[in-house]
Structure 1
Amino acid sequence: MDYCKLTPYRQKIYDRIREYERNGFFDRDVEDDPPSPILTPDKADYLDEKPFAKLKNRIANKMAVAFFEKQIKRGSFVISGVEGLENYRKTEGGAIITCNHFSIYDNYIVYRAIRNELPKGKQLYKVIREGNYTGFKGLFGFFFRHCNTLPLSSNTETMIKFLKSVKILLARGEKILIYPEQSMWWNYEKPRPMKSGAFKIAAKNRVPVIPSFITMEETDKTDADGANVMACKITFLPAIYPKEEFSEKDNAEYLKEENYNAWKKLYESVYNKSLVYGD
């Protein structure tokens, strides 16, 4: 990537990522997202129970696939490969899928890799930030609200509803994608230290965690921000199961540590260098 060719906004984001990495602020947002409304329980429909919710869900998913496939044809983002699907296939029933978060496209990369593996009637559910659900209008706002999304909330009652809904979804065998790094860091290659939420959910519901990690390679094409378009390869790593002899708290820590180590090992293997922050 040629820093000088980036737009001023992307230069600012790039510099902010470097600053946050040096200071260990790995979960902080780097984008200039505006303040967004709080998601209240009456606005959260995690299980698509409101009138016309299921219809909107079907329409939104079809529109999203069409949109992202069009972006692939245009070369806006490139999927260069899928590895480790056998690890995904070995895991039956409900599970948490983790992935690194560096792009608006990464959740579609995960979905596209497993869509033909999902049993009939099953979907990939995606945990998203509150502001994505409440603060976006237009096409992306429609996607964020109706494409099997599970928004977090700063409202305690909404989060109780969220956790109850997640329990129902996992019990019925759904896969839920969670970004344990929390915030999106644009085109950031390294695995970051993780928050515990995804692993607490897995431990509480006694379901496995399927780590996935997307590695990137620059292409010759540049995007509207002056950055090289990345060719992305997703790898599914062996599932990590809660241990029967561990407490819920210990299992959450165990799952988080094992997930991070799996990501780190893959990163160092693919990029042929040690994982070092602030270099």
Structure 2
Amino acid sequence: MINIAIDGPAGAGKSTIAKAVAKDLGIIYLDTGAMYRATAYLALQKGIDVKDEEKVAEMLEDLTMDIKYDENGAQRIIVNGIDATPYLREHYMSKAASDISALPCVRYKMVDLQRDFASKNDVVLDGRDIGTFVLPNANCKFFLTATPQERAERRMKDLQEKGETVDFDQLLQDIIQRDYNDSHREVAPLKQADDADYVDTTSMSIDDVVAHVKEVVHIKTKKADSTVQNTEKQPSTIIPSSEMDKKTLARIKTYYKPEKSFAFYRFLRVILRPIQMLVWPTKVIGAENAKKVTGALFTCNHYSKMDSMIPYFVLFKKEAHALAKYELFTNPVAGWFLHKMGAIPVRRGEADIEAVKQVLRVLKDGKKLLIFPEGTRNKQGTQQMAEIKTGTARFAIKSKVPIVPMIYYQSPKAFRKNWLYVGEPFTLEEYYGARTIDENHAATQVIKEKMDETRRLCNEYVESVTKKKKKSTKKNK
């Protein structure tokens, strides 16, 4: 059973996203906010003050609520035999719903209905306390938000499209007041669940948010369904935000914005390049392929700690950025160093929206970005690529930049020759505009095939060079 909980303040786009996700995944969307609005509508129809808990509690004793779906899949709520759906989005209903939802008797009644529905269906629920109160054991939880100004603008646009005339300042004030009411109520106040994925939608399109939510759902449900082959629990290297002090969190947050000055990078390259040439001498094959592009994703296999630095020394003579695991930035010295080198922190195994934003900004600015699509070090080296993560394809599709596949062939010992093989650039043009998970995985498969091809060419080249060297050595003897 799939239960997806989407929470957030008013106007964050919860309903829009929940409906789109449910449609794409082929599951039911339950608009929990509409249930509260329908309850408020019934109270107003009966002339009951929505803040009068005693009167409202009496009304709930006889309340019946049926949730139906029309031929287009749209939800309709029948309360006490009346189809309240056409009236639920009127401007005056927002405050009435907020007021009545603060009453404990209403909250518990709605929660019982929602839990019963979710226990029988694959469903997406959106509201303000789904992940914390209604469905605390939901498979996937999200907390969507946006600035009050952005949410007010969205709401005003919706109302104007319906022909209503509203004052923006009043609308903004209503949203701010509702945020306060929802977050300070006694029963199940608005707050992010500890295990919810935080998504700031202020500068994101609907398509971006939907794609992100579906990808997280796919990852989490896939993990839940898969058989765990290695039962030995490995210690986690990720430091949860809750265990970091505010100063550390604030410092790491500044690292998400890529460094613009590369004076330090150029200085460091001059200092460390001779050491690299001595200890890890590396020959670049296909360097001309890197010159064919400006803004591009450079994908490379990840065998050791050194292969993350080699491209900087032997290929990227000018500024370039790279993704680095978030844990490295928790150390003040390492974090500062990586930031100056143009690295962007990313939380592995979860959806890091801020990292995604900065990656797309770098690529759209025509910069180079180094990424290790395997997500972690692969001890098989160039013998076999590990599973390619889908984020690489999403970056390339969203930014519409070419991908340059690379393979680093590292000798097992220091002071031995190494090779960096740069393959032909390619694009995922046929997938531009892709929205579904299947399309994203198909694009990821293309990347894997290109990486495998580059790996094969690299191995063939190294094998050929090695054979020639052996023949030459025998001749000299």
Are the equivalent residues in 2 in contact too, given 1:127–1:152 (CA < 8 A)? yes
Q: Which residue identity is paired with 2:449?
A: E
The DSSP-based 3-state class of the residue aligned with 1:234 is: strand
Task: Note the C-alpha offset of 1:189.
Answer: 3.5
For the structure 1 residues 245 and 77, does the alpha-carbon distance in structure 2 shift closer, same or farther, using more than 3 Å as the test? closer
Give the alignment partner of residue 356 of structure 2, picking from 163, 166, 191. 163
Larger Rg: 2
The DSSP-based 3-state class of the residue aligned with 1:96 is: strand
Per-residue Cα deviation, 1:77-117 (whole angstroms, up to 9, x for no partner): 222x11112211222x321001111222223321223334x
What is residue 18 of structure 1 aligned with on the other side?
Answer: none
- Summarize the alignment of residues 261-276 of structure 1 with structure 2, pairs less than 5 Å apart: 261-270=452-461, 272=463
Give the alignment partner of residue 377 of structure 2, picking from 168, 184, 208. 184
- Summarize the alignment of residues 95-174 of structure 1 with structure 2, pairs less than 5 Å apart: 95-116=296-317, 118=318, 123-134=319-330, 136-138=331-333, 140-153=334-347, 159-174=352-367
Work out the CA distance in 2 between the residues paired with 1:253 and 1:94.
20
The DSSP-based 3-state class of the residue aligned with 1:90 is: coil
For the structure 1 residues 185 and 264, does the alpha-carbon distance in structure 2 shift closer, same or farther, using more than 3 Å as the test? closer
For the structure 1 residues 241 and 58, does the alpha-carbon distance in structure 2 shift closer, same or farther, using more than 3 Å as the test? same
- Would you say how many aligned residue pairs link Structure 1 and Structure 2? 221
Give the alignment partner of residue 77 of structure 1, picking from 262, 268, 280. 280
**How high is the TM-score relative to the length of structure 2?**
0.40
Task: Note the C-alpha offset of 1:232.
Answer: 1.4
Work out the CA distance in 2 between the residues paired with 1:76 and 1:109.
11
Are the equivalent residues in 2 in contact too, given 1:202–1:208 (CA < 8 A)? yes
Give the alignment partner of residue 234 of structure 1, picking from 420, 435, 442. 420
Work out the CA distance in 1 between the residues paired with 2:416 and 2:342.
26
Give the alignment partner of residue 90 of structure 1, picking from 292, 308, 316. 292
What is residue 403 of structure 2 aligned with on the other side?
Answer: 209
Task: Note the C-alpha offset of 1:66.
Answer: 4.6
For the structure 1 residues 155 and 241, does the alpha-carbon distance in structure 2 shift closer, same or farther, using more than 3 Å as the test? closer
Are the equivalent residues in 2 in contact too, given 1:240–1:258 (CA < 8 A)? no
Q: Which residue identity is paired with 2:280?
A: F
Work out the CA distance in 2 between the residues paired with 1:200 and 1:97.
14
Task: Note the C-alpha offset of 1:54.
Answer: 5.0
Are the equivalent residues in 2 in contact too, given 1:37–1:131 (CA < 8 A)? no
What is residue 256 of structure 1 aligned with on the other side?
Answer: 447
Work out the CA distance in 1 between the residues paired with 2:288 and 2:274.
28
- The structure richer in helix per residue is 2
What is residue 123 of structure 2 aligned with on the other side?
Answer: none
Q: Which residue identity is paired with 2:461?
A: V
Work out the CA distance in 2 between the residues paired with 1:97 and 1:264.
14
For the structure 1 residues 68 and 188, does the alpha-carbon distance in structure 2 shift closer, same or farther, using more than 3 Å as the test? farther
Work out the CA distance in 1 between the residues paired with 2:295 and 2:418.
26
For the structure 1 residues 268 and 82, does the alpha-carbon distance in structure 2 shift closer, same or farther, using more than 3 Å as the test? closer
Work out the CA distance in 2 between the residues paired with 1:103 and 1:111.
15
The DSSP-based 3-state class of the residue aligned with 1:176 is: strand
Work out the CA distance in 2 between the residues paired with 1:78 and 1:37.
38
Task: Note the C-alpha offset of 1:160.
Answer: 1.5
For the structure 1 residues 183 and 257, does the alpha-carbon distance in structure 2 shift closer, same or farther, using more than 3 Å as the test? closer
Work out the CA distance in 1 between the residues paired with 2:382 and 2:350.
33
The DSSP-based 3-state class of the residue aligned with 1:253 is: helix
Work out the CA distance in 1 between the residues paired with 2:335 and 2:267.
12
Task: Note the C-alpha offset of 1:70.
Answer: 4.8
Task: Note the C-alpha offset of 1:125.
Answer: 0.3
Matched, 1:195 2:411: no
What is residue 35 of structure 2 aligned with on the other side?
Answer: none
Task: Report 1 or 2 for greater relative contact order, CA contacts < 8 Å, sequence distance ≥ 6.
Answer: 1
Are the equivalent residues in 1 in contact too, given 2:375–2:389 (CA < 8 A)? yes
Q: Which residue identity is paired with 1:172?
A: D
